[in-house]
C-alpha cells in the first residue's frame, strides 16, 4: 500500500482533549508511538477508529480507504477510552470521575452526598451520572427544572471564558469547540434547548476550513456517536 499524507484526528475521552496532525503512518504501532510522544498516557485504554468502528490492535495495520458520506477517505478519527477493570455495577470508577470532572459536577455531588466525589462510593457516583443523562435519580431530579435561557450566539469571548475557567495541566490542549458541542448535546438530551437551538450553537463553532481540520465539531459529534 502506497503511503499517502493524511490528517488524523484523535479525541481523548479521558482527558477531554483533541489532537489533529498530518501523517503518512500505516500501522497501529506507529500511531501509539506518536500519541505517547504527544504526552498521552495509553495505560489501560482502548483506541477505536470511529469511521470504520475498528478497535485497534498492536502489530496490525491501521484502517484505510474507509467510507464517509459516500466517499473514500484516509483522514481517520480515533477515540481513546478507558478499558480498566469494571465494578460490580458495570461502571468504571475512573471513567465516572473523568465524566464528573469534565462536567464540573463536583459541587453538586458534595451537596447531595455531603462529601467530595473522590470519597463517594462508585455506586453513588454511577447513580448520579446516570441521573444526569437519564433523569432517573430522585436526589438530583430537581436540578433538571432549572431554567436555561435560549442559546442565541456563541462568541469568541465566551470560548475564551470557557477555556480560562477550566483547570487543566499546562501541557494539555483544551478543545473548547468540542467541549461546547458536548454541552449542547447534553442540554438538548435533557430538554433544556431544542434541536434548532443546538444547531445554532454548532453553526457558531469553528469550521474545518478555519481551523485546518477535516471535520467540524458537529461532524465529529456525529462520527463519535
Confirm whether pTM is higher than 0.75: no
pLDDT tens for 74-108 read 999 999 987 754 544 455 677 777 778 878 888 88
In order of 33, 75, 215, 223, the CA distances from 65 in angstroms are 22, 9, 17, 16
Could you give the CA distance from residue 114 to residue 2 in angstroms, rounded to a whole number?
59
The strand pair at 54-55 and 66-68 is best described as unpaired
- Return phi, psi of residue 28, to 5°: -65, -40
Q: Does domain 6-82 have CATH number 3.10.20.90?
A: yes
Mean pLDDT of 171-195: 69
Residue-level pLDDT at 87? 45
Return the axis-axis angle of helices 176-189 and 122-134, rounded to nearest 10°. 70
- pLDDT at position 160 over 60: no
Residue boundaries of the structural domains of the chain: 6-82, 93-139, 156-224
pLDDT tens for 104-135 read 888 888 888 888 888 887 777 877 877 776 54
Mean pLDDT of 3-10: 84
Residues 197, 186 contacting (CB under 8 angstroms): no
Could you give the CA distance from residue 33 to residue 30 in angstroms, rounded to a whole number?
5
Amino acid at each position: 500500500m502506497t503511503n499517502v499524507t493524511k490528517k488524523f484526528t484523535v479525541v481523548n475521552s479521558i482527558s477531554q482533549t483533541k489532537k489533529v496532525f498530518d501523517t503518512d503512518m500505516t500501522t497501529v504501532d506507529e500511531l501509539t508511538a506518536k500519541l505517547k510522544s504527544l504526552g498521552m498516557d495509553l495505560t489501560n485504554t482502548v483506541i477505536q477508529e470511529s469511521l470504520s468502528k475498528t478497535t485497534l490492535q498492536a502489530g496490525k495495520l491501521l484502517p484505510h480507504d474507509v467510507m464517509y458520506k459516500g466517499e473514500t477517505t484516509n483522514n481517520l478519527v480515533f477515540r481513546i477510552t478507558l478499558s480498566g477493570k469494571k465494578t460490580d455495577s458495570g461502571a468504571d470508577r475512573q471513567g465516572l470521575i473523568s465524566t464528573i470532572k469534565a462536567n464540573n459536577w463536583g459541587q453538586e455531588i458534595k451537596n447531595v452526598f455531603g462529601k467530595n466525589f473522590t470519597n463517594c462510593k462508585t455506586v453513588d457516583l454511577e447513580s448520579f451520572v446516570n441521573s444526569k443523562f437519564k433523569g432517573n435519580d430522585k436526589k438530583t431530579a430537581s436540578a433538571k427544572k432549572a431554567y436555561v435561557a435560549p442559546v442565541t450566539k456563541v462568541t469568541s469571548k465566551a470560548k475564551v471564558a470557557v477555556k480560562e475557567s477550566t483547570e487543566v495541566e499546562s501541557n494539555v490542549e483544551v478543545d473548547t469547540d468540542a467541549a461546547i458541542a458536548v454541552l449542547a448535546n447534553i442540554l438538548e438530551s435533557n430538554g433544556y434547548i431544542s434541536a434548532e437551538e443546538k444547531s445554532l450553537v454548532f453553526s457558531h463553532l469553528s469550521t474545518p476550513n478555519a481551523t485546518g481540520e477535516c471535520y467540524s465539531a458537529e461532524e465529529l459529534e456525529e462520527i463519535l456517536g
